[in-house]
Amino acid sequence: MSSLRCSISALLIVSLLLTGCWDRRELDERSLITAVALDTAPEGYKLSFMIPIPIKIAGSGGGGTGEGGQDVVQIFSSTGTTISEAFGKIRREVNQEPFFGYTVLLLLGEDVLQTGIEKDLDVFRRYPQMRRRLIPAVVKGRADEVLHANPKLEQIPSNYIYLLLDNGIRQGWMADVTLGDLFANLSDPSRNGVVNMLDIKNDVVRWIGLAVLKGDRMVGRLSDVESVPAIQLRDQKAGNFIEVPCPGGKGSFVFRALRVNPKVKIDNKEKIRIKSTVHVIGEIIENGCKNNLSDQKELVKFSSSVKKLYEQVARNLLHKMQKELKSDIFFYGERIRALHPQLWREIDWKTTFPKVKVEVEYQVEIRRYGMESR
């Protein structure tokens, strides 16, 4: 019994000695990086950081001035043959240790993705402070130009860009892709990814669609219209609203999907055949047609018009993915790998996908069409 007590006492003493954060560093002793931009450069890479200036931010311990935009942040940039070399040069310019725990954005220049990003992202994968939930985005042109944008709706520019993307993802009209998802797509041969794409013109940052990846390279872009069926089929989200021609007449109406439920059927008896059936429930948010929507027959015509347009855009998208870009962004390969493992081992999906017959059928149900139509 005495030996047991001695052992317990020794453990308690040791545990007391081990407590405490001996290597802790307070937040005010760190430079908090809120956004990272990566571009190509003649030497190799150009790395840029956005770091807020604490004393200028309202609500900070230093009694901020309430300024906003570029006045409350500083952009640090450097180049190098490797990303680590560029990072090392920035460390020599920053007065505190750079900290990535508050980074919410990783902006990638278009040129970076066209040469392959797996080796470029390796440094971010290895760095433990980089959160897997941060949002990556491809920038048309140079990524560092977005860091220099000066929006007025948020005090810190990176917060504005992050909320632009985060709200679009939550509302279901942007692709739900995080840095962790991007890593997973690059590591899985059955998946090809997409990344939300931004553009900046006249100091205004806007979402312009999706960048399409094949492996670790960007092979093309999807417009905002093409992105609708892509997001519905792969993310099971509503996508953006669409403008639909009036049934049998002039004018148009605007339809917004509220709920989307896609189902995929794979038939591999003779040749691989894939059929996606998408059930959409939505509403009419703007009506420029003269049809009487209180008449059930007319409402069916409106549903048919939405169905026709959805299927047309989806077929065009599938043709583009299979014949032009040859990239399976719909995760069909992942389903075959999971549900038909023997078939997966017998085929090369990269060469098989462009030849597979893929059908898409929409079932549209309009739940809301406005009180005036009653």
Residue 17 is predicted with a pLDDT of: 53
Residue 92 is predicted with a pLDDT of: 93
Residue 370 is predicted with a pLDDT of: 59
Largest interatomic CA distance in the chain: 95
Residue 14 is predicted with a pLDDT of: 54
Residue 4 is predicted with a pLDDT of: 56
Does domain 224-373 correspond to CATH entry 3.30.300.210?
yes
Residue 22 is predicted with a pLDDT of: 45
Residue 268 is predicted with a pLDDT of: 87
Query: Which residues have CB under 8 Å from 168's CB, separation 6+?
Result: 174, 196, 207
Domain residue limits, the chain: 27-218, 224-373
Q: How far apart are CA 232 and CA 229, in angstroms?
A: 5
Per-residue pLDDT of the chain (374 residues; tens, 9 = 90+): 566 566 665 555 555 555 555 455 455 567 899 999 999 999 999 999 999 998 887 655 555 555 678 889 999 999 999 999 999 999 999 988 999 999 999 999 999 998 889 888 999 999 888 999 999 999 999 999 999 999 989 999 999 999 999 999 999 999 999 999 999 998 888 889 999 999 999 899 999 999 999 999 999 999 999 999 999 999 999 999 999 999 987 899 999 999 999 999 999 888 899 999 999 999 999 999 888 888 889 899 999 999 999 999 999 999 999 999 999 999 999 999 999 999 999 999 999 999 999 999 999 999 866 555 44
What residue ranges in the chain does DSSP mark as E strands?
Answer: 30-32, 35-41, 44-52, 73-80, 97-99, 105-109, 135-139, 194-201, 204-214, 217-222, 242-245, 252-267, 273-287, 357-368
Q: How far apart are CA 51 and CA 43, in angstroms?
A: 24
In three-state secondary structure terms, 5 is helix
In three-state secondary structure terms, 251 is coil
Burial of 245 (0-12, 13-18, 19+ CB in 10 A): middle
Instruction: For the full predicted model, state whether its pTM sits above 0.75.
Output: yes
In 3D space, the residue among 312, 313, 314, 289 whose CA is nearest the CA of residue 366 turns out to be 289
